[in-house]
Chain A
Amino acid sequence: MKKTLTITVIILLAAAGFADAASVRAVVDRNQASVGESIALQITIDGGEGDVDLSGLVDFKTLSRGTSSSFQMINGRTSRQLIHNYVLIPLTAGGLTIPAIPVTIDGKIHYTTPIGVTISREPPVDSGQRDVYVTAGVSEPAPWVGQQLVYTFRLFNAVQVADAKFQAPEFNGFTAEELEERQSHRTVINGREFIVTEVVFVLVPIKTGTLEIEPAVLQVGMLQRNLRPRPFSGMDAFFGRSQMTTRILETEPITVHVKDLPPKPPGAPFSGLVGRFEIAASLDKTELRVGDSTTLAVTVSGTGNIMDTPEPAVPSPAEFKAYADNPEAQIQPGPQGYSGNKIFRTALVPVQPGRYHIDPIELTYFDVASGGYRDVSTSAFDVTVSPSETAAVDIDVFRGAPVQPPSLKKRVEFTGRDILPLKEGLEALKPQRSLPIRWFGLFLAIPALLFLAVRAVMQMVQKDDSPGRTMADRATHALKSAASSDLTDADFLSTLYRALVSAILARQGVMGTSLTWSEASERLLEIGWGADDATATARLLETIESFNYSGGKLDTQKREDLLEQTRQAVRRLTR
């Protein structure tokens, strides 16, 4: 009986162990779709976390849609479920297989069950049977280098779309500018109404040869009504609500053959303009006096790289001073490319009277319509200049606006590009370590330390010559002299007097030679002495003075006594 129970427990524990083992499974929301249509894939990991390897899905473009996790408790046991969500976009039509997807859990690889899906081809673009599709095209498949062309991307949608993300091509070999306004209109294709949204780029090829414009990619979300219940739709399936599906739409690549410009025939220099242009000129006055100014306005207008129009050479007579103004440009990118005009104004000031002729201004550009160079020119002008009323010999012209005279200097441009040569010296092999921060800190500290050392030395060496110090030294010196036994009584008393007065004045930090006993008392009180001490010291000063002036003889005891009292007072004051 006991043995049977033990075996039962072991079997139950083993079963529990197996119940804990992780398992993976993959499900899709549908197994029939068309190329570009999305299929939702869920990979569910029960009882653990794992790394999903989707590298085997070569027939699909995969997009991660995040993960979610949930906990379940059944019969008192908890288990965790981790769900990885992906969107698969089929790349080809036919019977495709989502292969067994490896999922690594705790170092062990688990595989999902392969899933077969049938991918059908989409109906032709112009059949009107597609719900959403995109196209792209260029206005000129064989342009000249420098000729502008228009690239138009169009989105056709017969159903509602949302969350559109547009990825434009790289346009390698072109300069590209997108028109700011994206146009939308409605059109009917095969009896079905579509909304057409256009994204337009103006392209200018900058190199010759066969260039390929990569496909433009658009990712859109499509609102579709659920016709059948799907495993991930939840209650939406029950109520038949709409569901958002993601689609990746790509245009076909476009090949453009860019032709080089033919050699320029002799004549006027090529302006660098490619397109279709006209030139016109106007002169605001043809009859003027010496010193008056007239403005010649040259307008270049047309379609093409008009922004590159160089400043025209104004053939003004030698008797005219010419002052060029900054050019004024009005250029807009539009559905036909860049178009507009550029106006060059030049102020002409005659310095001699007479009749003058201003020759036409010529412009040579490359005409893309005819495929050749075309010369256009302005009309000529005749100008009559009469003498100035002021009859000035030399005309100085003053203008309000800061106009610079035309410069003959040209901006130097690179005629070729390359890098500068190698550094071949062997110094290229020496280590170049930058100064470590600790050394930097040390070098900053060294001068400060030296300064402190200098200051300390100076303090030790330098004599303090403040009044207080001087008087204190004088008091000490006088006291030492008074201690000498070979002094006469008068000298002894004078020295004591000097020592005591100097000590009092030293304490106050002032210079001086004499004090009355009352002054001495006041000053000692000022420096914080007690009244008794101050009075006693002042009395000592009075005693010394009275002995000195009375001329009495001092015995040895009295000398010793006065010297000791003075010494104690001086020590206290100079401490």
Chain B
Amino acid sequence: MKAWLLTAASFLLFLAGAASVPASPTVRTFMEGTEAFHKGDWPAAIAAFENLADSGVDNGKLFYNLGNAYLKNDDLGRALMWYERALKHIPDDPDLRFNYDYALTMTKDERGEKDSPLLRILFFWKYQLSPSTVRWLALILNATLWVALSVLVVRKKRLLRPSVILIAAATAVFSATAAVNYVEAVHVRHAIILPEQVPVRSGFTDTDTQLFVLHAGTKVRIARETDTHLLIRYTEDKIGWVKKSEAGII
């Protein structure tokens, strides 16, 4: 009975302690953002979530929330930019996929650069699996390969050899794919067109020839970057300069 009383008292003290701990400023800002979102105050929600992102919180779910807030605020370009950033962290999140696909239906421009269908078939695993999944598969297969080789050395079982060759091939494929993904992440950069309509010009000034027009939410590849402008590639034959303020780098 005494033991039971002591346990109950400890539990109550724990609860009291937990209740009195103040929320950190980060948590408070996050709660303010979600509260503003529920009240329909999209600008306030955006400000709160962006404040967290600017303070260094690098989280796909936070970026997803920012995408939602911008989409509700009728800012399609920034919504898709944050959804794209979120996809880098949580590519398999079903909510994110749903909202991202929904936002894509609102864009005006056709999708620009597309991967070759042949490449998508030949290297299907690269396109079907997220970089994180490829990375972990490479590590797991690699560990399995060396364990199998160790067994082969210790037990000298020739029967294991075909399996080891298969595992080695799979390890090589996934490790190479992971390496390509790393290289792409560093060297292949994309941006999203932010304003409703952006003229893409042949040079830096407003008097340079307008080559074509892109609309909010269109994804482009960054070919070059200066202090003020980005040289963007929409398709193989459509390249031009836009101001940095008009495109959000993913």
> Which residues of A are in contact with B by a Cβ distance under 8 Å?
51-52, 54-55, 62-64, 86, 417-435, 437, 440, 443-444, 447-448, 450-451, 454-455, 458
Report yes or no: B135 in contact with A427, Cβ–Cβ below 8 A: no
Shortest A484–chain B CB gap in Å is 38
Report yes or no: B37 in contact with A428, Cβ–Cβ below 8 A: no
CA distance A62 to B149 in the complex (A): 72
* Interface pick from B3-11, B51-59, B112-120, B234-242: B51-59
**4 closest pairs, A vs B, by CB?**
A447-B146, A428-B61, A423-B61, A420-B95
Query: What are 10 A-B pairs at a CB distance below 8 A?
Result: A51-B205, A419-B102, A420-B95, A431-B57, A431-B59, A435-B132, A437-B182, A447-B146, A451-B146, A451-B149
Report yes or no: A434 in contact with B146, Cβ–Cβ below 8 A: no
> Which residues of B are in contact with A by a Cβ distance under 8 Å?
26-27, 30, 34, 37, 52, 56-62, 64-65, 68, 71-72, 88-90, 95, 98-99, 102-103, 105, 131-132, 135, 138-139, 142-143, 145-147, 149-150, 153-154, 175, 178, 182, 203, 205-209
CA distance A95 to B197 in the complex (A): 33
CA distance A468 to B71 in the complex (A): 78
Chain A residue with Cβ nearest B55: A429
Report yes or no: A429 in contact with B209, Cβ–Cβ below 8 A: no
Report yes or no: B59 in contact with A422, Cβ–Cβ below 8 A: no
Report yes or no: B59 in contact with A429, Cβ–Cβ below 8 A: yes
CA distance A64 to B207 in the complex (A): 6
Shortest B177–chain A CB gap in Å is 12
State which of B56, B95, B149 has its C-beta within 8 Å of the C-beta of A423. Answer: B95
Complex contacts, B68 vs chain A, CB 8 Å: 419, 421-422
Complex contacts, A451 vs chain B, CB 8 Å: 146, 149-150, 153
State which of A417, A429, A454 has its C-beta within 8 Å of the C-beta of B62. Answer: A429
Overall SS of chain A's interface: mixed
Report yes or no: A447 in contact with B147, Cβ–Cβ below 8 A: yes
Complex contacts, A419 vs chain B, CB 8 Å: 68, 71-72, 98-99, 102-103
Report yes or no: B30 in contact with A428, Cβ–Cβ below 8 A: yes
Shortest A42–chain B CB gap in Å is 14
Chain A residue with Cβ nearest B35: A424
Report yes or no: B207 in contact with A86, Cβ–Cβ below 8 A: yes
Complex contacts, A440 vs chain B, CB 8 Å: 135, 138-139, 178, 182
CA distance A381 to B203 in the complex (A): 71
Report yes or no: B139 in contact with A443, Cβ–Cβ below 8 A: yes
Interface centre among A51, A433, A444, A458 (most CB of B within 10 A): A444
Interface centre among A421, A427, A433, A450 (most CB of B within 10 A): A421
Complex contacts, B59 vs chain A, CB 8 Å: 427-432
CA distance A330 to B61 in the complex (A): 49
Complex contacts, B90 vs chain A, CB 8 Å: 432
CA distance A458 to B205 in the complex (A): 71
Report yes or no: A64 in contact with B139, Cβ–Cβ below 8 A: no
Complex contacts, A51 vs chain B, CB 8 Å: 205
Beyond the given A419-B98, A427-B61, A444-B175, could you list 6 further A-B residue pairs with CB under 8 A, ordered by the A residue number?
A: A54-B206, A64-B203, A434-B89, A434-B135, A447-B142, A447-B146
Complex contacts, B135 vs chain A, CB 8 Å: 434-435, 440
CA distance A437 to B150 in the complex (A): 26
Report yes or no: A423 in contact with B65, Cβ–Cβ below 8 A: yes
